[in-house]
Amino acid sequence: MRQTISSDFKLGILGGGQLGKMLCQAASAWDVSTYVLDPDPEASASGIATKFVQGSFRDFETVMSFASGLDLITIEIEGVNIEAVEMLEKQGIQVFPQPSCIRIIRDKGLQKMFYKEHQLPTAGFALFNNALEIKEKVANGELSLPFVQKKRLSGYDGQGVFIVTKATDLDLLFDEPSLIEDFVDEALEIAVIVSRNAFGEMLCYPAVEMVFNPVANLVESLLSPARIDENLASEAEEVAKQIADKLQIIGLLAVEFLIDKTGKLLINEVAPRPHNSGHHTIESAYTSQYEQHLRAIFGYHPGSTKLKTPAAMINILGGEGFSGPVIYKGLNDVLQIEGVKLHIYGKKQTRPYRKMGHATILAETTEAALSKAEKVLKILKVEA
């Protein structure tokens, strides 16, 4: 393989959203050239990639021609053309994470089957082809409310998840291949990011705790390290490593967990790439998740995942009732708060709850970081 840390090395990234942008920033620190493919000419990574190519990563031909001449392909989104990345791998081009991992993970149904097959802890589930099949199961008493319906493909940021609590919800079910999962009542949510390289070396970041916005069903703030029992934290790391090892994944694997009322750990879903729950590592850990992903796919040892300081991370979301060219309000007041690190993704248009940026807030304790994060959330407004 060619030397990876060199501007002669061409790293291809399928997807140019915020994760792609931050991956380019880490690659740039190592003088690695980045080639990014995204359909949006104003994608977040478009201004920072060494070369930005406008086109669909969901289209076979587009991906094939984009990848020709590149040294290694990685992803920032699972919804890439799977046949294309499989073909590239067959042709001897390195694709990390491997297409075999992407194929399982992009389909929440296959993910759940994978956990079951490997006896990994996850909530009970069943697969369905359409809404009618689900309604029939409810009608004949084989399925009872509440339950959670998830689209098998292309759900993100809560868009493909429906918590079904009452009979009238049944008319609003997604009418497409989906899975039904047991509703985990009053669940706590944590996430662990693990990296794995081609030599099987694995290292986890300490668990983070997610706090949700109940309306948008989107992470509102995230705390590092999670305020959970030490044993539970190490159990979560152990399970994350087991999944990464069973998948034989090369790259990052972000594992989201639900913790039920009895303290039982359940795998919710995984992502084979940098993740929203790892943004804080840019400022708060010895190694950022983006550098860690590069280390893993390039075959280097993982960097230390030690935390320099506790941190909170908030997503900067498009304000309710605003759509159009974005305006940020309160920036100067927010920047006055000690330890606030702003990341603006550069999306030109705002929409309600669209992820426009994030802020990481450093503090001496998780509690202090959380209270500063709440201040930031009150002050910073995204309007149009």
Ligand X SMILES: Nc1ncnc2c1ncn2[C@@H]1O[C@H](COP(=O)(O)OP(=O)(O)O)[C@@H](O)[C@H]1O
Residue 212 and residue 176 in contact, taking contact as beta carbons nearer than 8 Å: no
Q: Any contact of residue 181 with ligand X (CB under 6 A)?
A: yes
Q: Any contact of residue 158 with ligand X (CB under 6 A)?
A: yes
Q: Which of 30, 60, 183, 322 binds ligand X (CB under 6 A)?
A: 183
- Work out how close the CB of 92 gets to ligand X at its nearest, in angstroms, rounded to a whole number: 33
- Work out how close the CB of 154 gets to ligand X at its nearest, in angstroms, rounded to a whole number: 9
Tell me the C-alpha to C-alpha distance, in Å, between residue 140 and each of 144, 169, 173, 181.
10, 17, 17, 18
Q: Please state the φ and ψ torsions of residue 227, each to the nearest 5 degrees.
A: -85, 70
Token pair belonging to 314: 């908030």
By C-beta, is 180 or 294 nearer to ligand X? 180
> Under rule CB under 5 A, which residues in 250-279 are in contact with Mg ion?
256
- Work out how close the CB of 302 gets to ligand X at its nearest, in angstroms, rounded to a whole number: 25
User: Which residue number has the CB closest to ligand X?
Assistant: 184
By C-beta, is 4 or 111 nearer to ligand X? 111
Contact segment (CB under 6 A) with ligand X among 33-41, 183-191, 295-303, 329-337 equals 183-191
Sequence-ordered list of residues with C-beta below 8 angstroms from that of 268, at least 6 positions apart, any chain: 122, 123, 189, 256, 257, 258
Q: Which of 71, 78, 189, 237 binds ligand X (CB under 6 A)?
A: 189
Tell whether omega for the bond before 325 is within 30 degrees of 0, i.e. cis: no
Q: Any contact of residue 150 with ligand X (CB under 6 A)?
A: yes
By C-beta, is 71 or 181 nearer to ligand X? 181
For Mg ion (CB under 5 A), the number of binding residues is 1
Sequence-ordered list of residues with C-beta below 8 angstroms from that of 339, at least 6 positions apart, any chain: 361, 362, 363, 369, 372
- Work out how close the CB of 217 gets to Mg ion at its nearest, in angstroms, rounded to a whole number: 9
> Under rule CB under 6 A, which residues in 207-236 are in contact with ligand X?
212, 217
Q: Which of 78, 237, 269, 291 binds ligand X (CB under 6 A)?
A: 269
Q: Any contact of residue 300 with ligand X (CB under 6 A)?
A: no
Q: Which residues bind ligand X (CB under 6 A)?
A: 123, 148, 150, 155-158, 160-161, 181-184, 187, 189, 212, 217, 256, 258, 268-269
